[in-house]
Structure 1
Amino acid sequence: MVFLDCIENYFEKLADRFKKEFEERRRADRRQELEDIARYTSLHANDVPVDIEYIDFQSKANAANHHCDKYEVIERGKDTSVLRRGGTFTFVVTFTQECDLKKKHIFKIYFTFGSSPSIHNGTQVILEASGKKTFDKRHDEWDIRVIETEGKNVKFEVQVETDAIVGVWRVASVVCERDTNSITHLQRLDHLIYILFNPWNKNDSTFLPDETQRQEYILNDVGKIWVGSYPSVHGRHWIFGQFDVAVLPACVLLLEKSGVNSPALSDPILVSRAISRIVNSFDDDGIIVGNWSEEYSDGTAPTKWTGSIPILEQYMRFEKPVKYGQCWVFAGVVTTVCRALGLPSRVVTNLNSAQDTNSSLTVDKYFSPGGEEYIFDDHEKDRIWDFHVWNDVWMSRPDLPVCYGGWQVIDATPNVTSDGLCQCGPASHVAIRRGDTHLKYDVQYVLAEVNADVVYWLVNENSESRFQKLNSNSACIGQQILTKAIGNVVDSCYDDVDKEDITAIYKQKEGSQIERVIMHTAALRSKEARDAYLQPRDTDGDVEFSIIDTERVPIGHDFSVTVKAKNKCDKTRTVNVVLRACSTYYTGNKAYDIAKADGEFPLRSNETQEFSLPVNYASYCEKLVEYSTIRILALCSVKETNYIWVGEDKFQVLKPNIKLEVILPPKVGRISVVGVSFTNPLPVALTNCSLMVDAPGIMRPKTIQLDNVDPKAEMLYELKMYPWKKTTSTVVATFNSKELIDLTGSTALDIGS
């Protein structure tokens, strides 16, 4: 046995030796083969056709030159470029041998857009490099030049035309000899090139001259959306996240889904109009389903969103509309899509926003003698929304007369149809301010939103028309039009520092002669509006009524509503007052009655009296709905003259801010801790508590379930994050519970190395 073992070991060792020697001989043979090929290639270089070995598109360097270096699709790989049209970009081609583009070789690069590219409609571009060192074509044409040649490497620069189609382009390339038919195969590259609008280029139709505005309206990825009732509004933090890795691909797919033909995607007018349509789901299964019912069990409540990224991710993942959104959610996503594509955009909030359903430039409201609002078919009912949110986008308007460019309104909330689809705009600010309702798109609708007259009617079954005109209010609509001011987001929701009032660029001063002339002139262009505005002016009574503005009411506190009556004549008058308080949805629809009071009293000559309705917290706590708006309605009459006056007021019950405080300063590769806290203002515990947090560039959006918060107790949570790159960001947090919803807060973070 020992002998046999020795024999077996011997043969095993011998086999190993033979195997190693064989492998060494094969490696030596391969080395010799490569050397022979190299010698042959050097001796017969002219016989081997040149080919392309590699193309470096220098994505990061080009992105930095195009203000696109924040896009995460670039950071995740080398197969993507993000550029702005009207600019230039460089790339380096490594050929298999030295290439003589001036005399012997031709290099061609193909850029194609869409499924059926064509040179004639601008969806295919073929650039031929002849070795020239300068561009010789105009800014509205593609061009290519050679920057430098070093051995087998040639560095090229491409000029992108200023009206190039916006979206994703594909690339192919080829090199061949000039005087022969020798040509290598066309190389279709995996590289994708996103081409965006270019507000930095004066020849682009989206050119925005001011650099601070470009930083805000294109590059800022965190903002505020103003919500609430005039004057107690607050800024709701929103993460636009236009540079997130999922956003740009989603935006491109949305444009393709919009049905806009490829050449039209170079026009910001048509692109912005398409965006206003595809962000809502009404016509074409767009991104978001609208819901104003407070029933969100099969989706996500609008107040639980903190930004656009999770909405776009969910839409892409499941390929169906996301539930649910409201006007400010639509506007937040529109801003993300626009800024991602390079179209300057901002969120705009109109306080006391009219929805004029019959194109009369009026909001008609009907009441019974007891102060109850008369309800028509809901689809035919004019409304006054506490607030409505849309978007301004910046562009030139060559389709309109001179000077109508600049800010344009688009609105993605499916409130109105235009050309048979749920879309709105772009409507020029200049056209709205001048009352040029004959100009496209949807100027009359937006004009009514910001400046319609409110007309009050009394239902009178004994009159021939059934309705008695009472009084009108020309100053109620468009009380204030707001956007976030340029600069950093302020942590507090109620701070005015980052709030900009832009009412004056939407309309003339309320009540001025020119404002009245503009509205009457606009009314003459519409039969419905003409009939409304040509009605006789109301006769004022000799008793003057007004509702005293309710100051800010923190949630959990009592308040009172007061009507003031002033007798301006020399006789005693008998005054009857009906006061009602109810909770309302921000769309203007009533939710629940809260309190009612009525009374009659004599008012002597030149006397002023007040009539009040006290409301305690127990009366309204369980009747508040989203945004905690309370509406006051006063119906006042004078017995001796039969004069009737109707007045309305709204205010928002205020909720506490969430406070975010950095506990452990953030650094790359190290844990960071942010404390999130607020004090429960209610005398009851908060249940079913959750916290939604987001911080673009640092962490993905996530929802955290929390314990109950006792009455008047402090909620405190420590949020841990792990920054992976040096950047600046903003942490946004939103708290929701069964008893108290939509508390928001934020804090800025500077991630050091």
Structure 2
Amino acid sequence: MPTVDTITDLANRFTNDLELCRREDRDFEIASELNEIADAALASKEPKIVSVDFQPMYNAVNHHCELYELVDRRADCVVVRRGGLFSMVVQLNQKVALASEQELKFYFSFGARPNVEKGTQAHLVITGKTKIEKPHDDWDVRLVQETGKKATIEVQIPTDAPVGVWKVAVEVKRRDQTGGRHLRRFDTHVYILFNPWNENDGTYLPEEKMRQEYVLSAVGTVFVGSYPHTRGRHWAFGQFDDAVLPACMLLLEKSGVSAEARGDPVRMSRALSKMVNSNDDAGLLVGKWDGEYEDGRAPAKWLGSIEILETYLRTRQSVKYGQCWVFAACLNTICRALGMPCRVVTNFASAHDTNISLSIDEYFDEDGDQIEANDRYVNPAGIRDSIWNFHVWNDVWMARPDLPDGFGGWQVIDATPQETSDGSYQCGPASHEAIRQGRVDLKYDVPFVLAEVNADVVRWQKDDQAEGGFKKLATQTSSVGRLILTKKAGPVATGGFFKSDREDITWEYKPPEGTRAERVSILNAARRTRTARQVFDMPSVAKEDVTFTIEDRDQIPIGDNFSVTITAANTSNEVRTINVVMTCASMYYTGAKAHTIKRHDGELHLEPNQTKTMSMEVYYSDYYSKLVDHDLIKSIVICNVKETTQCWGGEDNLEVHKPDINIEVLGPAVQGKAIPIRVSFDNPIPLLLKECNLKLDGPGLMRPKTVPLENIAPKGKMNFEMNLYPKKALECTLIVQFNSRELCNLTGAKKISVASA
């Protein structure tokens, strides 16, 4: 475990380096220092090291790392991948003859206590051999060529080398042992990353299209909303920003993961799922779900990960605030930055099972009114079972040598602090295949993830004669894990609710609902869990002869009215009397109610085989002031049949739609020249918009920026023009968000192709 002083020293070094990246006179200072060292070496007759050219861009290109800004901005920073060859040019103060005159030795070290046996240190002697001879999991070195006073060297980095910042020292002496040795330690940061391009690396991903998306794509889509009405929102992952890798290193140091363990993607991904939340180790983000964000930033107002990671690096304080999609998007950035293939995954109708019963339990009294469960049905923290409208986590791709064959590939990790695992708020990696098969005996956290995607919803009614005081009324087997989405490999969509870039991966987590394979999977898991066996073994007792349907709505434009409508059909030959309670509320995405919007109580009297409807009208004036993040409204209808005690509950989730932001490029997009853009939208509400601002982010195009705006008139139009100044020729995506006191979270995106000058 690193000491506080070690972490502080590391943080100081990284923040100082970040400042150097932004200073115009950096190159002059570094050149002056190198010249002084070179002059001293040249004056000596003994062999001395004048300089080492670490060839940062040459190595970066060969290692698929040329996009990292650190390589562009720092002459003393190298980013490479394990399993590759690392090229360097060493200049001595005399003619190079490494096979006969000089002995050249390289030292690579990692962590506070480097050790050869633990794989955190390597001693490499240049003997004059010109071939790499050792296996892929060992350090090796070869001489490429000697030209005058320079020697070109290539070092093989082991495919299981720990991932992080390595230090380099170079030593030279005469081979005849006369004279002393000359040792140069370099401040150069050598970042060694995972290598999904190398088949011997534990993160190897065979398809190039997948690597381009899940390792190299810097902008993506995070899906939110409620089933079946989903939508995407853009996120700037920005894993190549110059603040990201240093922030990753700081998080790893604080995680307590030993240096020798940082080559294992299983342990690394598990540690990162812990460090992205602040619950245990003052990690990256503070989670908050109550809508009160005055001392930080509302989760919905983040556009990307760069600002969060740089703030953490500079302040060394957890950033306020995050919710699941922010945790997952930042974790995605970190994993991709370190070279682990990673994607953001959204599970719609996501269960939070607090007692490992693989069920979400709802309770009713003797009259059929819903009640809270008593204390024995909650977890130690007092949290009850719930179903979130959506929940976002990550999949990482890796081999699983710690599991039986066939359980590698995509693995779930989750940084949102819901339940503890091994005493910390961490989750995963949980194998997709283990989840599909119901193998809750395999690590890590398979039961929790399985419940999230495939738990049954069980309704209980109070009965003093039943064991435990409740009898099981009914079970719904297809209410959880209705749809699981990720962004598919390829271009980022910029409209149409992102249907063109969404990929349905529900089948990867479970067999199709209602199939024999799906039931076998959940029952297989239930047999292995004591609390689940008690739930699944109890029979349902309710008589159900009235069918109910609730009208399903997609979304409504902000300002429109809507209605909640229930249809009841009596399929029996007897009269049925139904008590109906209709409620409409704004919701947090976790499924927790924010504010009640409207309620209606009524009764339906159905003759045999009769069908009737009941409706409740909801007006704009009812809901406008009660909306919260994501603008979700849930309508719930509870029906109790007096004659049979049948209890039915239905719900409809809808989203209040806000206008998209329009982004126009008004001139040619050329590297090094101003690109004029216009941002606009129509105010859809009859209110003056105050305290307005635009947030902009575009990895590779611009750094995150906030621009204040003038007030916008009721039903008026917002127009804003500005210039962008791209430094590189590239394909990029600009993301824009508008916020005001009265109307917030309007978003838009624009693909921009920047041409070479």
1:139 is paired with a residue whose SS is: coil
Counterpart of 1:293 in structure 2 is: 290
Distance, in Å, in 2 between the alignment partners of 1:687 and 1:387 is: 31
For residues 297-349 of structure 1, what are the alpha-carbon distances to aligned partners after superposition, in whole Å with 9 as ceiling and x for unaligned?
11111111100001011111111100111010000110110000000000000
Counterpart of 1:385 in structure 2 is: 388
1:475 pairs with one of 474, 478, 490: 478
For residues 408-467 of structure 1, what are the alpha-carbon distances to aligned partners after superposition, in whole Å with 9 as ceiling and x for unaligned?
000000111000000000000000011000100000000000111112234578988554
Alignment check: 8 A CA contact 2:270 2:428 kept: yes
Distance, in Å, in 1 between the alignment partners of 2:631 and 2:496 is: 15
Distance, in Å, in 1 between the alignment partners of 2:323 and 2:462 is: 33
By how many angstroms is 1:598 displaced?
2.7
Counterpart of 2:133 in structure 1 is: 136
Distance, in Å, in 1 between the alignment partners of 2:168 and 2:426 is: 34
By how many angstroms is 1:380 displaced?
3.0
By how many angstroms is 1:253 displaced?
1.6
By how many angstroms is 1:586 displaced?
1.2
For residues 264-294 of structure 1, what are the alpha-carbon distances to aligned partners after superposition, in whole Å with 9 as ceiling and x for unaligned?
0000000000000001000000010001111
Alignment of 1:462-611 (within 5 A): 467=470, 469-492=472-495, 494-611=497-614
Counterpart of 1:9 in structure 2 is: none
Distance, in Å, in 2 between the alignment partners of 1:305 and 1:203 is: 37
By how many angstroms is 1:564 displaced?
1.6
Alignment of 1:738-749 (within 5 A): 738-749=741-752
2:426 is paired with a residue whose SS is: coil
Counterpart of 2:615 in structure 1 is: 612
Distance, in Å, in 1 between the alignment partners of 2:101 and 2:526 is: 71
By how many angstroms is 1:556 displaced?
1.4
Counterpart of 1:34 in structure 2 is: none
1:198 pairs with 2:201: no
1:700 pairs with 2:718: no
Alignment check: 8 A CA contact 2:581 2:600 kept: yes
Distance, in Å, in 1 between the alignment partners of 2:509 and 2:344 is: 14
By how many angstroms is 1:651 displaced?
2.2
For residues 195-237 of structure 1, what are the alpha-carbon distances to aligned partners after superposition, in whole Å with 9 as ceiling and x for unaligned?
0000000000000000000000000000111111112221111
By how many angstroms is 1:657 displaced?
1.6
By how many angstroms is 1:528 displaced?
0.8
Counterpart of 1:326 in structure 2 is: 323
Counterpart of 2:720 in structure 1 is: 717
Alignment check: 8 A CA contact 2:97 2:146 kept: no
2:479 is paired with a residue whose SS is: coil
Distance, in Å, in 2 between the alignment partners of 1:473 and 1:663 is: 54
The two structures have a TM-score, normalised by structure 2, of 0.91
1:666 is paired with a residue whose SS is: coil
1:750 pairs with 2:749: no
Q: Could you tell me which amino acid in structure 1 is paired with residue 229 of structure 2?
A: S
Distance, in Å, in 1 between the alignment partners of 2:364 and 2:169 is: 69
1:374 pairs with one of 368, 372, 375: 372
Distance, in Å, in 2 between the alignment partners of 1:477 and 1:205 is: 33
Distance, in Å, in 2 between the alignment partners of 1:86 and 1:440 is: 28
Q: Could you tell me which amino acid in structure 2 is paired with residue 233 of structure 1?
A: T
Counterpart of 2:253 in structure 1 is: 256
2:559 is paired with a residue whose SS is: coil
Alignment check: 8 A CA contact 1:135 1:145 kept: yes
Larger Rg: 1
1:621 is paired with a residue whose SS is: helix
Counterpart of 1:416 in structure 2 is: 419
Distance, in Å, in 1 between the alignment partners of 2:403 and 2:196 is: 20
Alignment check: 8 A CA contact 1:567 1:604 kept: yes
- Greater CA deviation, 216-225 or 251-260? 251-260
Alignment check: 8 A CA contact 2:473 2:540 kept: no
Change in Cα spacing, 1:131 to 1:383, as seen in structure 2 (3 Å) is same
Change in Cα spacing, 1:669 to 1:55, as seen in structure 2 (3 Å) is same
Alignment of 1:188-227 (within 5 A): 188-227=185-224
2:680 pairs with one of 677, 680, 696: 677
Distance, in Å, in 2 between the alignment partners of 1:245 and 1:224 is: 22
Q: Could you tell me which amino acid in structure 2 is paired with residue 126 of structure 1?
A: H
Distance, in Å, in 1 between the alignment partners of 2:415 and 2:746 is: 25
- Greater CA deviation, 433-442 or 146-155? 146-155
- Greater CA deviation, 603-612 or 517-526? 603-612
Alignment check: 8 A CA contact 2:543 2:644 kept: no
1:254 is paired with a residue whose SS is: helix
- Greater CA deviation, 541-550 or 316-325? 541-550
Alignment check: 8 A CA contact 1:471 1:645 kept: no
Counterpart of 1:28 in structure 2 is: none
Distance, in Å, in 2 between the alignment partners of 1:639 and 1:192 is: 73
Gaps of 5+ in 2: 1-38, 376-380
* Alpha-carbon RMSD: 2.1
Alignment check: 8 A CA contact 2:83 2:156 kept: yes
Alignment check: 8 A CA contact 2:368 2:645 kept: no
Distance, in Å, in 2 between the alignment partners of 1:460 and 1:559 is: 39
1:234 pairs with one of 231, 236, 245: 231
2:435 is paired with a residue whose SS is: helix
Alignment check: 8 A CA contact 1:456 1:646 kept: no
Change in Cα spacing, 1:367 to 1:618, as seen in structure 2 (3 Å) is farther
By how many angstroms is 1:60 displaced?
0.3
Q: Could you tell me which amino acid in structure 1 is paired with residue 485 of structure 2?
A: L
Q: Could you tell me which amino acid in structure 2 is paired with residue 434 of structure 1?
A: Q
By how many angstroms is 1:600 displaced?
2.2
Change in Cα spacing, 1:77 to 1:320, as seen in structure 2 (3 Å) is same
1:522 is paired with a residue whose SS is: helix
Counterpart of 1:275 in structure 2 is: 272
Q: Could you tell me which amino acid in structure 1 is paired with residue 205 of structure 2?
A: L
Distance, in Å, in 2 between the alignment partners of 1:171 and 1:661 is: 48
Q: Could you tell me which amino acid in structure 2 is paired with residue 69 of structure 1?
A: E
Change in Cα spacing, 1:208 to 1:320, as seen in structure 2 (3 Å) is same
By how many angstroms is 1:494 displaced?
1.1
Number of matched pairs: 711
Q: Could you tell me which amino acid in structure 1 is paired with residue 400 of structure 2?
A: R
Change in Cα spacing, 1:683 to 1:231, as seen in structure 2 (3 Å) is farther
1:664 pairs with 2:667: yes
1:504 is paired with a residue whose SS is: helix
Change in Cα spacing, 1:461 to 1:298, as seen in structure 2 (3 Å) is farther
- Greater CA deviation, 172-181 or 136-145? 172-181
Distance, in Å, in 2 between the alignment partners of 1:465 and 1:166 is: 52
Gaps of 5+ in 1: 1-37
Counterpart of 2:244 in structure 1 is: 247
Q: Could you tell me which amino acid in structure 1 is paired with residue 320 of structure 2?
A: K
For residues 602-623 of structure 1, what are the alpha-carbon distances to aligned partners after superposition, in whole Å with 9 as ceiling and x for unaligned?
3233332222222111111111
By how many angstroms is 1:532 displaced?
0.8
Change in Cα spacing, 1:563 to 1:471, as seen in structure 2 (3 Å) is farther
Counterpart of 2:346 in structure 1 is: 349
The two structures have a TM-score, normalised by structure 1, of 0.91
Distance, in Å, in 2 between the alignment partners of 1:338 and 1:485 is: 18
By how many angstroms is 1:542 displaced?
1.3
Alignment check: 8 A CA contact 1:144 1:156 kept: yes
Change in Cα spacing, 1:467 to 1:616, as seen in structure 2 (3 Å) is farther
Counterpart of 2:9 in structure 1 is: none
Q: Could you tell me which amino acid in structure 2 is paired with residue 374 of structure 1?
A: E
Counterpart of 2:694 in structure 1 is: 691
2:221 is paired with a residue whose SS is: strand
Q: Could you tell me which amino acid in structure 1 is paired with residue 453 of structure 2?
A: V
1:317 pairs with one of 314, 318, 322: 314
Alignment check: 8 A CA contact 1:735 1:743 kept: yes
Q: Could you tell me which amino acid in structure 2 is paired with residue 438 of structure 1?
A: D
Counterpart of 2:303 in structure 1 is: 306
Counterpart of 2:18 in structure 1 is: none
Distance, in Å, in 2 between the alignment partners of 1:233 and 1:582 is: 19
By how many angstroms is 1:639 displaced?
2.9
Distance, in Å, in 1 between the alignment partners of 2:64 and 2:188 is: 20
